[in-house]
Amino acid sequence: MTMRPIPATGDQIGQYRVVGERGRGGMAVVLEVEHIESGDRRAAKLLLPGKGNEPLARRLLREHRALSRLDHENVVKVYEVGVHQGSPYFVMELLQGQEVGAVVQDWQQLPPSERFRRARKVLIAVARALEHIHERGLVHRDVTPSNVMLLPGGRVKLMDFGVVKEPGDDLTTVGEVIGTIAYIAPEQIQGGLIDARADLYSMGAVFYLMLTGRRPFNARTTAGYMNKHLHGEVRPPRALVPTIPELADQVCTRLLAKRPTDRFSSATHLLHVLHASVPPGPSPGQVGWSPTLVGRAAEMAHIRTVLHPLFRLAEGEAVDAPTGCVLVIEGADGLGRNRLAAEVDLLARRHGLSVTRSRALGDDQRAFEAFRPLYEDELANGAAEYPALLATFGDARIQAGKRVERYAVMKAFAQLLANGPPRLLVLHELQRAQQGSIELAEYLIRNLVSTGNHPITFVITRRASETDDDTNDPLLGILTGERTGGRAAERVVLEPMSAAAVEELLLTVVADSPLVRPLAARIHQDGAGSPFIIAEMIRALVETGHITNPQARGTRGRLTMSLEQVRRGSLPVPRSLRDALKERLAPLSPNSQRVAATLAVSQDSLGFELLQSACDLSESELMVCINDLLRARLAHERSIDGNARISLVRNRIRDVILGQTTPDLYRLINRKLGEALELRYQRNSEVIVESLARHFEEGGFPAKAMPYMVQAAKKLITRTFVSEGLLLLDRALTIEPEARRFFTLDDADRRRAELQLERARALSHLGDWPAAREAVRCADDLAQDLNDLHLQTRTATELAAQARRHLQYDHALDHLRRALQLAEILGNRRLQIEPLYEFGAIQWSRANLDAAQEYFNRALASSEAYQDERALALGTNGLGLISMCKGQSTEARRYFEQSMAVCEKNGMMDRLTVARINLIEVYHLTGKLRKGLDLADRTVAHAREVAHRYGIALGLRYRSLILTDIGRLVDSVENAEEALRICREVGSAEDILSVIIVLIRARLVVGQGTEVLPLLQEALEMVHIADAEGFQPILHVWRARFLAHSGQLEDAHSAIEDALAAPSRQWPQQKCRLQLNLARAYEAIGETDSALDAAEIGLRIADACGFRYYAMRARHVLARLQTDETTRARHARVASALARSLAVGLARDDLQCFLEHQGVKRRRTLRLGLDRTESTP
């Protein structure tokens, strides 16, 4: 192959004509070029012909991309990029000057003062270039004398960004900078995390060369250089050249420190020390001073790396890597978690991202409240078009009386974000939020980031555990990925500020002097490295005159302390974070402190009228107080729906204020807040019922707290936050004895009964059956004593439901008869709906299908009359069960689909899962395996989305069923095992038995006989208390088959007799299953005629009901048992045809697996190019 030549003089590259070659290196040539139209002279960097491999091409394009993001007088400018004859190139400004490395020896002939002046000037110029570069997340990684160009007129340019480190770039440079190994930082050699301070080390080595004419280290080999960088001690420049100024010597030595933390913390810090930094803003003694973010170079480098794909996407680049992620910023109080998050916010906005910030609400029980700012930010983008969001966050009049399901809100937020632009969502102190907000965060991360790869990043600030034990941390599932799809969060753990960082912060306020570094060390020690405390200490030094306020804007103050005072004097230093906040609160007037305390107790932003009412202040008095709090930076104001609202700036401020609030004042404020909120929302209390419950409870007003607690609990339970609702109910039960003193006796008993009834339902949902029974019995006893027929109807219905779950049907029927009778006396048809459904469920469990159908129809009629969609879903699901158990598969499918539609519309996750698995059963029976598998996959995925463990177990159970049908046996066993693990934790005995049966079936097909026996024994022990579906005969038949294969034929025969004598369900699907299993058992003990009879019965049932899967299985058995060859062949042909029919629509791998599992071969007919199948002999 002929190698392409380097373009010669006169050749054209893009819009440029080559003038000549300026230089070349190992990978590229630099050409002087002239723009054809304008005549401008520039330089083109072209990848050398023959070097066009991907890594080098990427490196050159990375250099262009990095330079195109920079615009600084001390950085070489870049223009076009392109490809010339297959080699990439880019065009940059043409620099006419000399490299530092070429002039250093000439400088040695200059007077020392001039030499040092020039070295300082170059150092400042390069530091400014690096400051600009580092602010954009880049690290040069190759600052050397040959990459610093001195131009006429004294200008300095940093160039050659060939090995620049971009965020997200893992390229190491150890093997790529051999020619400049004399200037490489120790951490680059060690392969550690590289941040901006690596460039400072290299700059120190260049500065050393400029000062002394020598490199800091000399060696003959690369290994020798590396060893000296890592372990060698730098000889101070003044030891070589005594005339070097002391400051220059100190700066150079510090730049060359082995540990990054011992160097300057940033290029800006270096410029401060060189008295060359930009003019400062307001001082700590002036309004508006905000401490600069310092000392977080490593953390910001990590953050930029994590967010780099998202930033590139936001800027319009094509990105292959995942763009969404979870970033957790964690650390102890005062270490600047929220300050760093604010910097990330600013960084994201610079890259064009949409950013939403929210804060946690402490123990406020309002679900999803941490996501209110997201709703408000998205109002202009159609957030109000989502009914669930509008009902949760919208206008109070819209929220009134609305019942919103948790999943509906989660799904709406997910759709809102998925349809939106790349976004950064900052969740401050999420671990303090109500559980609903945490679960919503988990859901969004799971579905948008872990599995959906949407361009959304969640930035979460978290208070680190003091014990390093995160076991009880509410964010554990997010940190580990256990509850967010397996993708662990990226964690940025904040350590205390370094002394160098404190020095940099101090230098933003005071001019450099010999006292600054020891004072920074003292502040660092006394402030324990806490950025917040350290900032407060600097503020205190200014306020007490130890640092003078600058005389003019844009200048820095000066220290008025002696070295002795710095080292041993008493500084105005807050001793802790709490002390620092107390000092800011101390100057406030009593009224302002009362307003601050009210905001702290509220835990939320308050409108002007509410705040005025709760504080008993006039309008003018309140305005003065609010202004005081704003000036002290203790509170901030924001507009929500056009109304001004005031809240505290940080949670820790709230904690300090509450710590100073006396118990009497705390109770009084809570009570006043409760009364103000109650008056404001008199006709719409449901909107803020959680706050009312809390304020009246904390205010020592149990008579009002208890009913609001019950109301809040019902609201949570309606949204499927059952555990959270139960906690509120238990709290209400705790204060009930004190509250009942304020009610009449009957009213007190009625409220207690209502409370216990709600507890019973919540406890039943969570599977705590004994506690649920005790609660409902207590409620029923009170209802009887009160002679309250309405309440008695409800308690009787709940008693019946609990009895039915434990298969105590006679007791359940007694309770239901009483419930219906009472509802009839009251003339309340709506109260009849649930008892009628329970009647139907019991009749179904007893196989009285006609009676069950009648009850379901009556319940359905009442549901439609009252437009009760929840009851409608129950009724249609019940009628679907009846149809399925009568062998009416088409009707069953229609009812289940209706039930699913209602459940999906109303976010009824529990009922939706039940309807889905019932439909999967129909698909299994009728052989629609692809539909069954797809629906099972959706059921499991949906349940995992919302972390609904019981739903996951049900979905896995039926997925295992379909997978066994298909022949994916390993997957089937794994699914069933996972379902069983979950059911043993959260399911009833009936659920456990059902999953064990599916697992036994899968293992029998796999041939895992030894694993089957203990499961079979467990199931046989459970059938007497938990067999609602009539599996007992089938279990005995499976036992017979197991005994037969073990050679115990007499025992096997006895087991078959037990099966025939066992109670069974006369449902077609169970009868068909039993007959086919009997055929296999009879075959195993050698009774072929009985086996044939059973298989024929099973086939007749399957054909009559359209159970095509079981018809195929019956034909397989008959083909194996028949002795007549013609009959045997006929059954084999039909079985093969059924198998081919059932395989239609399956994925390629599943189709092959299914046909092989059913003994049907596939062969290719080459002439026609078609796949054909045939039955195996």
User: Which domain CATH number covers 122?
Assistant: 1.10.510.10
For residue 635, is pLDDT > 80? yes
Q: Has residue 280 been placed in a domain?
A: no
For residue 530, is pLDDT > 50? yes
What mean pLDDT comes out for the span 240-263? 92
For residue 454, is pLDDT > 70? yes
Residues 839-882 have pLDDT tens digits of: 999 998 887 889 999 999 999 999 888 888 888 988 999 999 99
Identify whether residues 747 and 736 lie together within a single domain: no
d(CA 674, CA 1098): 69
For residue 176, is pLDDT > 50? no
Q: Has residue 403 been placed in a domain?
A: no
Nearest to 406 by CA among 449, 437, 448: 437
Confidence of residue 550 (pLDDT cuts 50, 70, 90): low
Per-residue confidence (pLDDT) for residue 1171, from 0 to 100: 37
Which range in 774-783, 841-850, 971-980, 1061-1070 is most confidently predicted, on average pLDDT? Answer: 774-783
Q: Which residue has the higher pLDDT, 654 or 280?
A: 654
Lowest mean pLDDT segment, chosen from 258-272, 630-644, 799-813, 1147-1161: 630-644
Per-residue confidence (pLDDT) for residue 290, from 0 to 100: 64
For residue 170, is pLDDT > 60? no
Lowest mean pLDDT segment, chosen from 64-68, 809-813, 1040-1044: 64-68
CATH number at residue 852: 1.25.40.10
Q: CA-based angle 466:498:557, to the nearest 5?
A: 125
CATH number at residue 362: 3.40.50.300
Per-residue confidence (pLDDT) for residue 720, from 0 to 100: 61
Identify whether residues 834 and 846 lie together within a single domain: yes
Per-residue confidence (pLDDT) for residue 932, from 0 to 100: 95
Nearest to 430 by CA among 472, 383, 388, 462: 462
Residue 2 per-residue DSSP state? P
Which range in 211-220, 352-361, 403-412 is most confidently predicted, on average pLDDT? Answer: 211-220
What mean pLDDT comes out for the span 207-212? 94
Per-residue confidence (pLDDT) for residue 1167, from 0 to 100: 30
Residue 550 per-residue DSSP state? P
Per-residue confidence (pLDDT) for residue 404, from 0 to 100: 61
Per-residue confidence (pLDDT) for residue 311, from 0 to 100: 85
Identify whether residues 513 and 558 lie together within a single domain: yes
For residue 162, is pLDDT > 60? yes
Per-residue confidence (pLDDT) for residue 1024, from 0 to 100: 83
> Are 738 and 752 within 8 A, CB to CB?
no
Confidence of residue 82 (pLDDT cuts 50, 70, 90): confident
Identify whether residues 674 and 794 lie together within a single domain: no
Identify whether residues 79 and 115 lie together within a single domain: no
Per-residue confidence (pLDDT) for residue 402, from 0 to 100: 53
Q: Give the percent of the chain with pLDDT over 90.
A: 45
Per-residue confidence (pLDDT) for residue 317, from 0 to 100: 76
* Burial profile 752-788: b = 16 or more Cβ within 10 angstroms, e = fewer: bbbbbbbbbbbbbbeebeebbbebbbbbbebbeebeb
Q: How many helices (H) and strands (E) are present in the chain, helices listed first?
A: 51, 19
Per-residue confidence (pLDDT) for residue 492, from 0 to 100: 92
Identify whether residues 926 and 897 lie together within a single domain: no
Q: Has residue 845 been placed in a domain?
A: yes
Identify whether residues 1026 and 1112 lie together within a single domain: yes
Residue 220 CB neighbours (<10 A): 7
Q: Which of 575, 594, 629 is the last residue of a domain?
A: 575
Q: Has residue 283 been placed in a domain?
A: no
Per-residue confidence (pLDDT) for residue 281, from 0 to 100: 57
Identify whether residues 77 and 109 lie together within a single domain: no
Q: Which of 613, 641, 661 is the last residue of a domain?
A: 661
What mean pLDDT comes out for the span 74-86? 88
Rounded to the nearest integer, the mean pLDDT of the chain is 86
Which range in 289-298, 405-414, 484-493, 618-627 is most confidently predicted, on average pLDDT? Answer: 618-627
Confidence of residue 389 (pLDDT cuts 50, 70, 90): confident
Confidence of residue 23 (pLDDT cuts 50, 70, 90): confident
C-alpha dist (Å) from residue 86 to 10, 16, 83, 908, 1074:
19, 17, 6, 60, 73
Confidence of residue 911 (pLDDT cuts 50, 70, 90): confident
Identify whether residues 385 and 313 lie together within a single domain: yes
Residues 26-40 have pLDDT tens digits of: 778 899 999 999 999
Write down the residue that tokens 């402490």 correspond to: 362
Q: Which residue has the higher pLDDT, 860 or 580?
A: 860
Q: CA-based angle 1049:1051:1056, to the nearest 5?
A: 95
d(CA 867, CA 876): 14
Number of domains comprising the chain? 9
Per-residue confidence (pLDDT) for residue 16, from 0 to 100: 93
d(CA 774, CA 771): 5
> Are 425 and 457 within 8 A, CB to CB?
yes
Written as six digits, the tokens of 582 are 């107390």
Per-residue confidence (pLDDT) for residue 511, from 0 to 100: 86
Per-residue confidence (pLDDT) for residue 1163, from 0 to 100: 44
Identify whether residues 484 and 363 lie together within a single domain: yes
For residue 1176, is pLDDT > 50? no
Identify whether residues 722 and 777 lie together within a single domain: no
Q: CA-based angle 121:127:128, to the nearest 5?
A: 95
For residue 14, is pLDDT > 70? yes
Partnered with residue 559 across adjacent β-strands are: 547
Residues 123-156 have pLDDT tens digits of: 999 999 999 898 887 888 889 999 999 999 889 9
**What is the sign, positive or negative, of the torsion defined by CA atoms of 641, 644, 649, 653?**
negative
Nearest to 455 by CA among 351, 559, 300: 351
Q: Has residue 533 been placed in a domain?
A: yes
Confidence of residue 173 (pLDDT cuts 50, 70, 90): very low
For residue 168, is pLDDT > 60? no
Identify whether residues 990 and 1129 lie together within a single domain: yes
What mean pLDDT comes out for the span 55-59? 77
Written as six digits, the tokens of 496 are 């205390």
Residue 884 CB neighbours (<10 A): 25
Residue 1176 per-residue DSSP state? -
Per-residue confidence (pLDDT) for residue 907, from 0 to 100: 67
Q: Which of 43, 68, 93 is the last residue of a domain?
A: 93
> Are 297 and 195 within 8 A, CB to CB?
yes
Residue 87: which domain range? 12-93
Q: Has residue 282 been placed in a domain?
A: no
Q: Has residue 254 been placed in a domain?
A: yes
Per-residue confidence (pLDDT) for residue 603, from 0 to 100: 80
Q: Has residue 946 been placed in a domain?
A: yes
Nearest to 457 by CA among 505, 511, 493, 420: 420
Confidence of residue 2 (pLDDT cuts 50, 70, 90): very low
